[in-house]
Amino acid sequence: MMKISLGTLDETWQQYNLFQAPLVFNDSQTDYKAIVRQDKIVSIVKEGYELLPNEEAVKIADSAAEMAGLIPFHELIQGRMVYSHGRPQDLRQGRNKSPRLIHFKSALRSQRRKNAPRRRSP
């Protein structure tokens, strides 16, 4: 009989309610791990996959933007529509505090417009 279970739970990102645990098959560890969110397995990934919550990625992006003299990421999305799991969410209404996918093209276009030199009329 086959037996599948989870190994020791990694609680590094517990504050985001995210956990990861190795998959064990017939009492042998595999090259896969489970990503668990809110007590549900949301993904099975290879062992080398690095779990990084979106909130942490935004902090890194903000720091990188500030070091490069650009607008921090969180300021680009304020008052804009974002896409989370394929559905539009309006941040102005306070929903979806942790957007998963940001509509980058429009944010980058507005950044370029702000930084573009002004054309003078003849």
The CA-based dihedral angle spanning residues 65, 71, 73, 76, taken in that order and rounded to the nearest 10 degrees: -160
**Residue 77 confidence (pLDDT) above 80:** no
The yes-or-no verdict on residue 95 having pLDDT over 60 is no
Asked if 22 and 47 touch (Cβ cutoff 8 Å), the reply is yes
- Indicate whether 67 pLDDT > 90: no
Each residue's pLDDT tens digit, 43-65: 999 999 999 998 888 888 888 88
- Per-residue pLDDT at 57: 86
Reported pTM? 0.57
Separation CA 3–CA 5 (nearest Å): 7
Q: For 24-34, how does the pLDDT look when each residue is reduced to its tens digit (9 = 90+)?
A: 999 999 999 99
**Residue 22: CB partners within 8 Å, gap ≥ 6?**
6, 7, 8, 29, 30, 32, 33, 34, 47
Please state the domain extents for the chain. Answer: 4-46, 54-115
Determine the Cα–Cα distance for residues 33 and 106; give it in Å rounded to an integer. Answer: 36
Residue type, 53: P
Judged against a pLDDT cut of 70, whether residue 40 lies above it is answered with yes
